[in-house]
Amino acid sequence: MINKVGIIGSGTMGSGIAQVAATSGCKVKLYDTNQAALDKAKSALEKILARLVEKGRIDSAEKNRIQTNISYSDSLKDLSDSDLTIEAIVENLEIKKKVFSELESYVSDECIIASNTSSLSIASIAASLQKPERCIGIHFFNPAPLMQLVEVIPAIQTSKEVLDKSVKIISDWKKTVAIAKDTPGFIVNRVARPFYSEALRIYEEGIADFETIDRSMKTLGGFRMGPFELMDFIGNDVNYTVTETVFAAFYFDPRYKPAFTQKRFAEAGYLGRKSGKGYYNYDENGSIVPQISNVPQNAPEVSGEESELAQQIFDRVLVMLINEAADALFWNIASAKDIDKAMTKGVNYPKGLLAWADEKGIDWCVSNMDALYNEYHEDRYRCSPLLRRMNGKGMRFEV
């Protein structure tokens, strides 16, 4: 039974996970080396819960119960009685390994030690422990209290007991679990790469501007945000770093190659909403400020949202996403069900990509991928073997 939870790191993610666990009735200790950061986290939680009371989502008694369930500490030793610890600190493997090694000297042999990393190797992190079988990846999405999906990633060292316990506790916290293999980017940060990278490629080729690409994906695909809006929301520095990390981790596979446009925007400090300027300009409320079109000089004019150009953009990005999802299934990264669940619950895609492949038709997917490869002759556009095997046989994913 997991009742006592330690959270390492009191930033937005760590605080969010603490709120989730405390809401579900766990006794939570939130640890950070910086007392000011702890004070900030406590104050932020007070505001969040007060807002929920104002909106009628919870009452004052529930607010007090959640707050009482969380204590704050600047000593890692205070996590010694934890049944589960979840680390949510900087994405630096050596720092994580150092923290985990120290933590293990304080907690019991039964304590599960988890990392919230979004892309680093769980096996590498586990190797820093004397009991690596207790280590697992438990990856929440930001903001943790609102986002439904949690990826659970067992390392090759992780015991089945630890995996089963981890899945149960996250399910008990009313979250949707997707189990992923310990590979770069897991499910979401791997499969979602073409949403950004192909949009950037389309822009760099001079085919369309940021607004046209975003509008095409929202209008024709039903995405809540276009690729450039979403990159601005995430932060161009963060999104570029994830892309660069996945690219290197996949031995520089051209499918994950970063774009110079995003690199230059990050270098210029055009990070998006948090800096007030990215692919769009933002006011003090985070709303996009109307601006002069950024369309490249050689781009064709757009006649409307339902134009041939918009359809071309949407089809190109969608088939690359479907191809990546199919390849994740081909390599047994996760089940078809968990892949589609991850994309709808983790990044709010309007439908699962494998279900979308069934809707469009496997032949449509293969012919569009082959058309891209025939045009560019780049390995970036190679069709997944799984799609090619299914093509012409009337097969469907049936997710």
Read off the pLDDT band of 286 (50, 70, 90). confident
228 and 248 in a single domain? The answer is: yes
HSE (CB half, 13 Å, CA atoms) of 255? 25
Range scoring the smallest mean pLDDT among 89-93, 317-321, 324-328: 89-93
**Numbers of helices and strands, H then E, in the chain:** 17, 10
Both 26 and 108 in one domain: the answer is yes
What residue has token string 């949510």?
A: 88
Q: What's at 11, amino acid-wise?
A: G
Look up the CATH number of the domain holding residue 147: 3.40.50.720
Give the domain-ending residue among 140, 161, 179: 179
Residue identified by tokens 């205070």 is 78
Is residue 114 scored above 90 in pLDDT? yes
CATH code (residue 308): 1.10.1040.50
Q: Is there a catalytic annotation at residue 189?
A: yes
Beta-carbon contacts of residue 165 (< 8 Å; ≥ 6 apart): 2, 112
Domain that holds residue 23: 4-179
Q: By percentage, how much of the chain surpasses pLDDT 70? A: 96
Let me know if 34 is a catalytic residue. Answer: no
C-alpha 266/C-alpha 232 separation (Å) is 11
Cβ pair 228, 196 in contact under 8 A? no
Last residue of a domain, one of 157, 179, 201: 179
For the segment 99-125, the average pLDDT, to the nearest whole number, is: 96
> Is 151 annotated as catalytic?
yes
Q: Are both 161 and 213 inside the same structural domain? A: no
Query: Higher-confidence residue: 316 or 305?
Result: 316
* H-run or E-run covering 143: none
Q: How far is CA 24 from the centre of its chain?
A: 23
0.75 exceeded by pTM: yes
| Cis peptide preceding 132, ω within 30 of 0 | no
Which of 179, 203, 222 is the last residue before a domain boundary? 179
Task: Determine the average pLDDT of the residues in 355-367.
Answer: 98
What's the average model confidence in pLDDT over 320-345?
98
Confidence of residue 285 (pLDDT cuts 50, 70, 90): confident
Among the options 69, 115, 139, 211, which is catalytic? 139
Q: Which of 151, 198, 229, 324 is catalytic?
A: 151
Residues 202 and 127 in one domain: no
pLDDT tens per residue across span 163-218: 999 999 999 999 999 999 999 999 999 999 999 999 999 999 999 999 999 999 99
Note whether 77 and 114 are same-domain residues.
Answer: yes
Do 277 and 377 fall within a single domain?
yes
CA of 260: how far to CAs of 184, 228, 236, 266, 348, in Å? Answer: 21, 14, 12, 10, 27
The pLDDT of residue 121 is: 94
Give residue 304's pLDDT.
53
Same-domain status, 344 and 372: yes
pLDDT of 295 > 50? The answer is: no
* One domain, residues 60 and 87: yes
User: Is residue 156 located within the same domain as residue 260?
Assistant: no
| 89 pLDDT more than 50 | yes
- Identify whether 375 is a catalytic site residue: no
According to DSSP, the β-strands at 135-140 and 149-154 are: antiparallel
State whether 171 and 303 are in the same domain.
no
Residue 303 has pLDDT above 60, yes or no: no
Distance CA 22, CA 9 (A): 16
Q: Are 297 and 379 members of one domain?
A: yes
pLDDT bin (cut points 50, 70, 90) of residue 132 is very high
Distance between CA atoms of 348 and 85, rounded to whole angstroms? 28
Amino acid letter for position 133: E
Q: Which of 69, 82, 118, 236 is catalytic?
A: 118
Structure tokens at 128: 């820093």
H-helix segments, the chain? 12-23, 35-54, 60-68, 93-104, 122-126, 160-172, 188-191, 193-204, 210-221, 227-234, 236-249, 260-268, 308-330, 336-346, 353-360, 362-376, 385-390
Question: Active-site residue among 116, 166, 189, 239?
Answer: 189
Say whether both 40 and 159 belong to one domain: yes
pLDDT at 202: 98
Average pLDDT taken over every residue of the chain? 94
| pLDDT (mean) for 2-16 | 96
The span from the CA of 316 to the CA of 340, in Å, is 19
- Please count the structural domains in the chain: 2
